[in-house]
Structure 1
């Protein structure tokens, strides 16, 4: 039982001590991922922008007939909710494979292994922050002038970084043990997109089903970005939901650190 609470502190301490190295590795990871492409990391921005255009046309023009949601143009509603999703979906798979993708750090040298998922998540955060800036510009061009509520985007970006980092402790460890978990994560990611109110409104569901949707931590970010960009609500206006999210995050940190710590000595042999 003591290990269950000891491992998180070990991983947090290791990450804190190696902060400088983690930042350096995250920049190298970002460069490595897009090396060989003429436009480099620019492709990390092109992909989500193309997806936004396709989803908007298919749903707003093709299915919904251009109807607004809560008096907001559907394209703005879509962009506000889908930006955090791009970070989550990319990071869920990429950070999950981080130990396998960097197995030389695990098997051929003495390296703080727990920082590998961290710098993988951090490398994706850079792209997300640039995308968030682009979204702010898009909203400004659409007549939505920046306001104080936009400052919450920094809070939600930080919360996503923490959440995806502690989640990657579990996913990266399990993917080392079995590649089946990688395929499972990819399948779950596709399901989560449609089960999270990204292209649809949460008001379309009620009762127990609405509670189930809200229990999905990803909804905390999607609704948070919309509250910041569109609805002008502070995150503390719903403290119960905020406490729930951080409770889930702490639980994931405890479970993930325990699994990572228990399996850590086996990584080199398996890889």
Structure 2
């Protein structure tokens, strides 16, 4: 039986060697969801616009809400909320699909030469494309509303890099595990919904009691959501110490997830 290396170097070699295939599949995945629709790819632009409009109406008109310490602008809460939702949706889209990655591509499992480990990367790139469109909409909205965008916007890739590593690690683990344990796919949707309300999407961590702030910071989405708001909305620089720590943890998660995927993939063909 063929053995698959689980070393980080093997992962890097695979990603580099198959970058053309990854980009091609990611492009197909990103635009494939709009196939047959009248507006086509423009849905990727229309969807975040509609979301931003809904957030603005609901929170500025219905709930009369504003962010802690913010101004009384009717659109401020919607902008801050939308920034958090972009990060959460990126995570949720990838993790929600992860359990079915191998199950829905069983034909690739039979092909010994196909690099199955790239499938989570395809999903991630597709999700990043839609997140990028949403961020562009957010920045245009800020430009119209405030007349400028934060100078710290350039730091957003530094927030997305370790988050992407976390997503890949969890995706590899979920994709491999769900082949043997189909219940994973049934429970992941519930867990993602619960995580949305437990993450600082609708509230800042600073609004919690001190004892709960420590617990909130253990949430793997708290750091990227808070930092994305800092660089996209508030114009504050990234917490560099926090970024270093978060990057170390998420890259470790990525390697563990990849190692489990490589170990488990030997039995995929037999199970499927």
TM bin, normalised by shorter chain, reads: 0.7 to 0.9
Shift of 1:255: 1.8
Distance 1:57 1:189 in 2: 25
Tell me the distance in 2 between the aligned counterparts of 1:265 and 1:36. 37
Task: Give, in whole Å, the separation in 2 of the partners of 1:49 and 1:190.
Answer: 22
Rounded to whole Å, the distance in 2 between the matches of 1:83 and 1:106 is 32
> Structure 1 residue runs of 4+, over 6 Å off?
none
Q: Which runs of 5+ in 2 are unaligned?
A: none
Which whole-Å CA distance do the structure 2 matches of 1:250 and 1:220 have between them? 15
Name 1:133's counterpart in structure 2: 136
Q: CA RMSD in A?
A: 2.3
- Given the two structures, how large is their TM-score scaled by the length of structure 1? 0.88
Matched with 1:67 is 66
Query: Residue in 1 aligned with 2:18?
Result: 18
Q: Give the CA deviation at 1:108.
A: 4.2
1:171-209 superposed Cα distances (whole Å, 9 cap, x missing partner): 111122222111221111101110011111222212231
Residue 204, structure 1, aligned to residue 203, structure 2: no
State which of 169, 172, 180 in structure 2 corresponds to 1:169. 172
What's 1:247 paired with? 248
Distance change in 2, residues 1:249/1:131 (3 Å): same
Contact 2:176 2:264 in 1 (8 A): yes
Residues 242-265 of structure 1 show CA distances to partners (whole Å, capped at 9, x for unaligned) of: 233113212212320221011111
In the aligned structure 1, how far is the partner of 2:58 from the partner of 2:266?
Answer: 48
- Structure 2 length-normalised TM: 0.87
Alpha-carbon contact 1:56-1:78 (below 8 Å) kept: no
Work out the number of aligned pairs and report it: 265
1:270 alignment partner in structure 2:
271
More helix by percentage: 1
Given that 1:7 and 1:261 are in contact with CA atoms closer than 8 Å, whether structure 2 keeps it comes out as no
Ranges in structure 1 where 5+ consecutive residues have no aligned partner: none
